[in-house]
């Protein structure tokens, strides 16, 4: 039996734990601890197969094997100090904390013995089990990494990447739902301004976006060729493409990704 404790049950931690609880992986017991206990209890009411710890010292009694840290970056040091009051020897610590490197994790837990450290970057699509999650590790065995993969595959696709690519991964996958929702929102607003109601607009634009992604995934042509095929000479699409180009749409997207990448 592996006992996994999620600390920090907010938007991201809560979504991940819900996905994993739904899958009910044999041999895995899920525990949660959150500063705001009511938030943890509300989550526990919604999902089965999940026990709440009332305080952190109960992690020793519960014989936790794996700790998954889901607090905000600003709250990490305080939590690490609190965790260092307990003996965490031989445990696996997994952190989803953005910009927290394995070396920083290692020094935060320097007084602990034989920890295995895993850094992860999920995204909010974990709430519908469609996250793209990256993992990288320090002192973790193949079996420990495989366990982490199995755990987070309950919330979508998992890939192992070198830590040097983590900041870029955060921009192109961790933050990406927000940018996609911004694009989606702008088109829905345009549709509403031109006579569609909100529900129709969400449905039509959503289907057009997901259909485009599926088409690009299945098509053997490059994205550039697919763009050309839609831009009929003297047609409508090209007029929109000209506006995107004149306003450096690609450049704006890359600037946004760089800003996120630099902070990750």
Ligand X SMILES: O=C(O)[C@@H]1CCC=N1
CB of residue 248 to ligand NAI, shortest distance in Å: 27
Contact flags string 72-111 toward ligand X, x per CB under 6 A: --------------------------x-------------
Task: Write out the H or E segment, with its range, that includes residue 159.
Answer: strand 156-160
Q: How many angstroms separate the CA atoms of 39 and 67, rounded?
A: 19
Q: Which is nearer to ligand NAI, 124 or 226 (CB)?
A: 124
Binding residue (CB under 6 A) for ligand X from 80, 174, 188, 205: 174
Give how far the C-alpha of residue 165 lies from the chain's centroid of Cα atoms, to the nearest Å: 15
Does position 156 interact with ligand NAI (CB under 6 A)? The reply is no
Does position 79 interact with ligand NAI (CB under 6 A)? The reply is yes
Q: How many angstroms separate the CA atoms of 238 and 233, rounded?
A: 7
CB of residue 77 to ligand X, shortest distance in Å: 16
Does position 12 interact with ligand NAI (CB under 6 A)? The reply is yes
Does position 145 interact with ligand X (CB under 6 A)? The reply is no
Distance set, CA 26 to CA 21, 30, 43 (Å):
11, 11, 21
Binding residue (CB under 6 A) for ligand X from 79, 170, 201, 205: 170
DSSP 160: E
Does position 73 interact with ligand NAI (CB under 6 A)? The reply is yes
Q: Which is nearer to ligand X, 10 or 209 (CB)?
A: 10
Q: Which is nearer to ligand NAI, 7 or 201 (CB)?
A: 7
Does position 75 interact with ligand NAI (CB under 6 A)? The reply is yes
Closest Cα to residue 95, out of 3, 7, 1, 2? 7
Pairing of β 131-138 and β 156-160: parallel
CB of residue 260 to ligand X, shortest distance in Å: 7
Burial class (CB in 10 A: 0-12, 13-18, 19+), 96: buried
Does position 70 interact with ligand NAI (CB under 6 A)? The reply is yes
Does position 131 interact with ligand X (CB under 6 A)? The reply is no
Closest Cα to residue 128, out of 28, 212, 189, 210? 210
Q: Which residues bind ligand X (CB under 6 A)?
A: 98, 170, 174-175
């Amino acid at each position: 039996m592996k006992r996994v404790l999620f600390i920090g049950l907010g938007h991201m931690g809560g979504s991940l734990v819900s996905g994993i609880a739904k899958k009910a992986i044999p041999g895995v017991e899920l525990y949660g601890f959150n500063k705001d206990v009511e938030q943890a209890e509300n989550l526990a009411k919604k999902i089965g197969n999940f026990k709440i710890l009332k305080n952190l010292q109960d992690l020793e009694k519960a014989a936790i094997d794996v700790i998954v840290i889901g607090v905000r970056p600003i709250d990490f040091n305080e939590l690490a100090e609190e965790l260092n009051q307990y003996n965490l020897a031989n445990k696996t610590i997994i952190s989803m904390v953005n910009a927290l490197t394995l070396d920083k994790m290692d020094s935060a837990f320097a007084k602990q013995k034989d920890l295995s450290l895993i850094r992860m970057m999920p995204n909010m699509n974990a709430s519908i089990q469609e996250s793209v999650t990256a993992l990288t590790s320090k002192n973790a065995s193949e079996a420990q990494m495989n366990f982490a993969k199995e755990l987070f595959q309950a919330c979508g696709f998992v890939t192992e990447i070198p830590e040097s690519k983590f900041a870029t991964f955060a921009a192109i996958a961790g933050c990406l739902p927000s940018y996609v929702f911004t694009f989606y929102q702008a088109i829905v607003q345009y549709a509403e301004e031109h006579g569609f109601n909100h529900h129709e607009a969400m449905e039509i634009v959503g289907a057009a976006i997901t259909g485009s992604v599926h088409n690009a995934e299945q098509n053997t042509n490059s994205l550039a060729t697919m763009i050309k095929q839609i831009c009929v000479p003297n047609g409508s699409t090209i007029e929109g493409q000209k506006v995107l180009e004149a306003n450096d749409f690609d450049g704006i997207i890359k600037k946004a990704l760089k800003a996120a990448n630099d902070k990750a």
